Amino acid sequence: MKKLVIYFFVILMLFVNVSAITSNLKESYEKKETAIVELSGSILNTLSKSNVKILKDGHINSGTEYNIKKLNNKYYLWFTSPQIEGNYTLLVENILTNEGGIQKNINFEDYFIVSGNTTDYSIEPGIIFASEDFSINIALYAEDEESIDIDLPNPRSFLLQQGNNRVDFKKNDFQGTSFLTIKIGKYSIPAYVMGAPIIVNNSNINNTNSTNSTILNQSNSTLNGTALNNSLNQTKNEVVFNGSFKVLPLRIEAIVLKGNKTDLFPFTVTNLKNETLSNISLEYDKNIFKIIPENISSLKINESVIFNIKINDNLTRAIKKSIIVTSGKEFQYLIFELNFTNKEENVEIYYNLDILNSSSGKSLLHCVGEIPNGKICSASGEVCDKRTILSKEGDCCTSKCTKEEGESKSWIGYLIIGIAVLVLIFIYLKYKKVKPSANPMSSIGKTEPMGLPPRLPPELPPGMSPPIGREGFKI
């Protein structure tokens, strides 16, 4: 009896291990049919094409076309079924998953059969992730033309010709960013499309009653323009803004699964002027994330635009950055804080709409590293040549630090020196013009200049003797 209980639990554990990852793979496919498969379960690592194999009889590479992508927190893969009928294995290797609270690396296997019939048409690719215009190729194998229905962006019919057919889709035909399913004939294609920015009437946002914050669970809600509008519509206290435009939310705090790079984080910019708002630009760290659209030329009266933040694929560390929105000489900024988790239940996004505490310490960023091009002008006499943003360290310059251009006093010193020089020159010239009178005794005892005869005493009249000096000598 005890052995039976042990065997039961062993079989139960094996069943749990096998069921940790599941798929909706069909039991059989026609030749050349496009298979679109969704993987379900806890997948904690990033899967790529190198993790997938399509094997015949469990060991022979089928050589068929395939790919795998993560859309809206789930992995989808597609492949073209082989042209040779038989038994096949879908193998996904090295999946990091959570079993009973313990992380394990497992290989997932599922099986299907390729029948002897060739399908009438196939599509490629079977998964769409698009931020620009995209197209889907449809190969018709039947000899006769065939008409199929396409539901998005507008319902229409498409006539297939024998061979390759191309269906084009325009980005601007889709509004906002969303996860959706595009039906093309018998196929349902999972698609994540970053469409044209959503322009909404200001009355939908500006006059709403709003809470200071709202939390959305990312696993239950697509974070697109609609989700953001819903969060704004759930607020309780009216938000009042001064200036030409407003940015909402003021702060985004998100927790996402590691390896998931398809998340988009929306925010809105709304025109509050009674005229068209022009030249709206964004400043942010483009090495870490990008914003779609990058900028817009103008916003009409009572209009808003939804921007989406998309993190770069190589980002693995937590970040806290700012996004500066500028129009003319006016600017506002929001804070974007991102963290990662291995547990899907911890995934969430937090929109902070509280402008009453926007100047509090929590809402302020560090100047260097968190504000784009942020620097403190600390050297003596330095000022910021453009604008400053309040940071935890004080005024943060987002442009260049330059020397302050004050009124120069050096001309006063030069003037004093010039006057002094002129006074000295005047004194010198004055002294040179005034010569002292000659001393009549200065020539006594001095020899005459060379070349002149010696001076003789005046000749005395006859019979007169020369005068005698004090000492009795004749002069």
Quick check: 304 and 233 in contact, CB under 8 A?
Answer: no
| Same domain flag for 305 and 218 | yes
Instruction: Residue 49: give its domain's CATH number.
Output: 2.60.40.1930
Angle at 267 between CA 330 and CA 193, to 5 degrees: 130
In a domain, 2, yes or no: no
pLDDT tens-place string over residues 340-355: 888 777 777 777 765 4
In a domain, 388, yes or no: yes
| Same domain flag for 230 and 320 | yes
Boundaries of domain holding 131: 120-196
| Same domain flag for 158 and 178 | yes
Instruction: Residue 192: give its domain's CATH number.
Output: 2.60.40
DSSP-derived 3-state class of residue 164: strand
Q: Which structure tokens are listed for 204?
A: 């939908």
Neighbours of 309 (CB within 10 A): 23
Tell me the CA distances in angstroms from 472 to 216, 468, 469, one per residue in order. 137, 6, 5
| Same domain flag for 154 and 206 | no
pLDDT tens-place string over residues 374-387: 787 776 667 777 66
More confident residue, 466 or 206: 466
| End-to-end Cα distance, the chain | 169
Of 359, 393, 424, the domain-final residue: 359
Give the C-alpha separation, 129 to 382, whole Å: 48
**pLDDT-based confidence at residue 24 (cuts at 50, 70, 90):** very high
In a domain, 192, yes or no: yes
More confident residue, 233 or 151: 151
Tell me the CA distances in angstroms from 473 to 441, 462, 467, one per residue in order. 20, 21, 9
| Same domain flag for 27 and 102 | yes
- What is the residue-averaged pLDDT of the chain? 75
Predicted local distance difference test score (pLDDT) of residue 281: 84
In a domain, 272, yes or no: yes
| Same domain flag for 190 and 293 | no
pLDDT tens-place string over residues 98-118: 877 788 899 999 999 998 889
Instruction: Residue 343: give its domain's CATH number.
Output: 2.60.40.10
| Same domain flag for 400 and 291 | no
Pairing mode, strands 128-130 and 187-194: parallel
Of 55, 90, 118, the domain-final residue: 118
In a domain, 260, yes or no: yes
| Same domain flag for 209 and 343 | yes
**Closest to 122 in 3D by CA, of 74, 80, 63:** 80
In a domain, 448, yes or no: no
Pairing mode, strands 28-31 and 102-118: parallel
DSSP-derived 3-state class of residue 412: helix
| Same domain flag for 129 and 140 | yes
In a domain, 453, yes or no: no
DSSP 350-366: EEE---TTTTSGGG---
Q: How far is CA 381 from the centre of its chain?
A: 32
Q: How far is CA 313 from the centre of its chain?
A: 13
| Same domain flag for 99 and 212 | no
In a domain, 412, yes or no: no
Of 305, 327, 359, the domain-final residue: 359
| Same domain flag for 104 and 249 | no
**pLDDT-based confidence at residue 461 (cuts at 50, 70, 90):** low
Q: How many domains does the chain have?
A: 4
**Closest to 263 in 3D by CA, of 338, 353, 323:** 338
| Same domain flag for 205 and 324 | yes
Q: Which structure tokens are listed for 102?
A: 């313990």
Predicted local distance difference test score (pLDDT) of residue 457: 60
**pLDDT-based confidence at residue 272 (cuts at 50, 70, 90):** confident
Q: What percent of the chain has pLDDT over 90?
A: 21
